[in-house]
Structure 1
């Protein structure tokens, strides 16, 4: 079906990316470990940085409207964040199973796993979008925002971005499957194109340039959806050039329980963890809202700045996931050990850099987004406190990716769910002290530190039992 929608010759004539054939996929089963892992990881990390820039661009332009606009996008954006948990169900399950099948030389099974992953993606995306559009009032009402104008903007942003969330869902599944195949460059190119489109459309639609009216928060939402739609179209193009998995996809066939259930089995723990994590974050946001709309704006901007570490670690974790999955399918234990050790070396360096950046330079960084004098001190406190946990958070994310490569998504889910849930009572306790609002930020940081340490120890014990512990 993909080949029918995007004929090869036509795509080569109208798009300049035809040189990206699947024959250039990274071979994860042979050759130098660090070289193979790095070749796969760098485009994924670059994609994550582009995605971060994508989000930060939105925040920069929305921040120019004022902290009220940031608060509106921050509240509605929580539901986009929540949607990522649902999207992870098909993405993680599809990526791991496709990786295992390819590692075992079962290309036909890999295609069937991809089939079912996309069918699950479409179903979840459509249902979630309808729920958000129909229930926008109660969903935004959960945060108990103070300003009627902020509430109205939040509803508009929610209906547009989540109403068309299907594009975001498809993009995530495409990224997962292509990464499992060993092709991470396509995701980088597609996401980069989305960034460029978003950079162009944001100021045009938010402030109204030329014939375009000033749309404010609505303009930011429209720019985001248009960019995501074009990224989806590019993914379809890249998939039409695949010679391994996508060529044999038959998306219109009835879902097959034989392939759907393993996808759900592997993807469900991670999906539940992500949904609960976001749900807890929404409760935290509700606590933050008690300190005013400015505090909500600080959390929104601060989390976007903080994404410089966690999105990059998440991108590297995706590479580790595919590397471990294929080598697990092929029975290459020693290669898995070397791959994880190499990955952790890179992540540790990156985590230290991010920690130093947020602790030593909080004011100039936050000032890029919101320069209001009464908001800036709150932002500085957020970045300095969350900066303490960046190294541990990076370790947690990368180790979770390695666990998932084995098909073991339960351990990181257990650690994530338990310690994320602990943030709520801990935050309520600390806010009653002299820390006030900063007590909420410390509850997040302390739980992240423990998650990183506990999950690392658990994974090392897991490898030791399998006879593949790093030396």
Structure 2
């Protein structure tokens, strides 16, 4: 019997998210997720490092595939955010039946999403690359092969997202970390084998990177399913519940759709930036791709911190414990800002070293050094914005974070980049990122203040 169960006749034990000291709880919940996210960032970078050894066109093919992959991740992660928030809140409110229905419905929605993206990968990959790099057929060919594999076999990543979040929602972040580590390590080990044809395997090039990625996702998903069935006793996963429940679907997507939209907007922004940069030189898009890989070392720990924070504040919000909710929020924001400052320092002091990871040419280095230094100025504000948006999502105001994301990336960033590109000076385009972050932090502060006020009023009423 684990710490979440109780003997017959005894008083039920409170979930640790309601009783453990907040600082120790946040560390215990977030640190495993931050470590696993760092490993995720590592294998994303390793993937690109190996591909960059093939050619700059090969690296560009993987970089230009990012918007489609990002869209897939947006749907998987956004749905998982909705599952996480509903399940944690239901447990905090002692609604076991709703928690079980949230889990079953979440699994069903994830499987449906995998089918949709398999069709997108099969039929839309080629026209997607033709729209970006028609003048370089090699990029189109390699990119199409890469995305057809990654999206066509996306059931692994969707199941991984779903079942990992079921573990996180009940406080078992260490188990979630183990599943992510297993998938990431599998990917890292298999990358060179499939890309370069080692150990008797065929040399698959860019397609080999996709095969290694998909196999890593399947390993993580299978392990996450086993962990839930064997170790997660706070929820009951039954085949009869793996179906759409109207109430659960509505609640999952009430939180999840804004998250999906926010991350999907990132796909649109990346696609637009690639189009703007490709006009200058294909090397500029390679620099942008390298930036996204490198910055994941900074942002992934923040997302891991987020993943640790959301179930804590959702649970305590459901249990009407405002002091625990807001202490968690303050600690998370402080930690996020500190991490982003360290990232800013790294991008300012060693940009050439970071670019050398991708076998950067002299032209790529010359373009990339000012790019990394300018874009990283936005890091100083981004930590607060990310956490503020997640707080709004977790306690009932998901539209706020969606509005911030739309304004940052579509209303400010892309138009600013396009206008600056009209000067003919590539280095000015990178300033669109700090400009957009100023707009983001302003809106985030306003919306977080409103969320705090309304949440306090609801929790006060629940206590009465």
What TM-score does the superposition give when structure 2 sets the normalisation length? 0.92
- Displacement of 1:465 after TM fit? 4.7
Q: What residue number does 1:218 align with?
A: 207
Give the Cα separation in 2 of the matches to 1:305 and 1:21: 39
| Structure 1: unaligned runs, 5 residues or longer | 1-18
User: Structure 1 residues 78 and 97 mapped into 2: Cα distance closer, same or farther (>3 Å)?
Assistant: same
1:248-304, Cα deviation, whole Å (9 max, x unpaired): 433665422122111122211221222122112211111112122222211111111
Moved more, 297-306 or 81-90: 81-90
Which of 162, 172, 197 is matched with 1:183 structurally?
Answer: 172
Does residue 97 (structure 1) correspond to residue 81 (structure 2)? The answer is: no
Which of 195, 208, 211 is matched with 1:206 structurally?
Answer: 195
Q: What residue number does 1:375 align with?
A: 364
Tell me, what secondary structure is at the counterpart of 2:18? coil
User: Structure 1 residues 372 and 20 mapped into 2: Cα distance closer, same or farther (>3 Å)?
Assistant: farther
| Structure 2: unaligned runs, 5 residues or longer | 6-12, 458-464
Give the Cα separation in 1 of the matches to 2:327 and 2:252: 27
Q: What residue number does 1:192 align with?
A: 181
Moved more, 235-244 or 181-190: 235-244
Contact 1:116 1:251 in 2 (8 A): no
Give the Cα separation in 2 of the matches to 1:225 and 1:292: 31
Contact 2:196 2:205 in 1 (8 A): yes
- Displacement of 1:116 after TM fit? 0.5
Q: What residue number does 2:421 align with?
A: 431
Contact 1:66 1:370 in 2 (8 A): no
Q: What residue number does 1:449 align with?
A: 438
Q: Runs in 1 of length 4+ with deviation above 6 angstroms?
A: 19-26
Give the Cα separation in 1 of the matches to 2:306 and 2:333: 10
Does residue 458 (structure 1) correspond to residue 447 (structure 2)? The answer is: yes
Give the Cα separation in 1 of the matches to 2:303 and 2:28: 16
User: Structure 1 residues 26 and 38 mapped into 2: Cα distance closer, same or farther (>3 Å)?
Assistant: farther
Contact 1:351 1:394 in 2 (8 A): yes
How do 1:20-59 and structure 2 match up within 5 A?
Answer: 27-59=16-48
User: Structure 1 residues 25 and 274 mapped into 2: Cα distance closer, same or farther (>3 Å)?
Assistant: farther
Does residue 113 (structure 1) correspond to residue 102 (structure 2)? The answer is: yes
Tell me, what secondary structure is at the counterpart of 1:407? coil
Contact 2:108 2:242 in 1 (8 A): no
Give the Cα separation in 2 of the matches to 1:21 and 1:125: 34
Give the Cα separation in 1 of the matches to 2:161 and 2:4: 19
Does residue 278 (structure 1) correspond to residue 267 (structure 2)? The answer is: yes
Give the Cα separation in 2 of the matches to 1:216 and 1:32: 50
Q: What residue number does 1:4 align with?
A: none
Give the Cα separation in 2 of the matches to 1:127 and 1:384: 39
Q: What residue number does 2:300 align with?
A: 311
How do 1:59-458 and structure 2 match up within 5 A?
Answer: 59-250=48-239, 253-421=242-410, 422-433=412-423, 436-458=425-447
Contact 1:399 1:455 in 2 (8 A): yes
Contact 1:93 1:263 in 2 (8 A): yes
User: Structure 1 residues 345 and 329 mapped into 2: Cα distance closer, same or farther (>3 Å)?
Assistant: same
- Displacement of 1:165 after TM fit? 1.4
1:198-241, Cα deviation, whole Å (9 max, x unpaired): 22111111111131122110111111111111111111111112
Contact 1:77 1:158 in 2 (8 A): no
- Displacement of 1:359 after TM fit? 1.0
User: Structure 1 residues 453 and 356 mapped into 2: Cα distance closer, same or farther (>3 Å)?
Assistant: farther
Give the Cα separation in 2 of the matches to 1:206 and 1:358: 29
The count of aligned residue pairs is: 449
Moved more, 449-458 or 360-369: 449-458
Contact 1:180 1:322 in 2 (8 A): yes
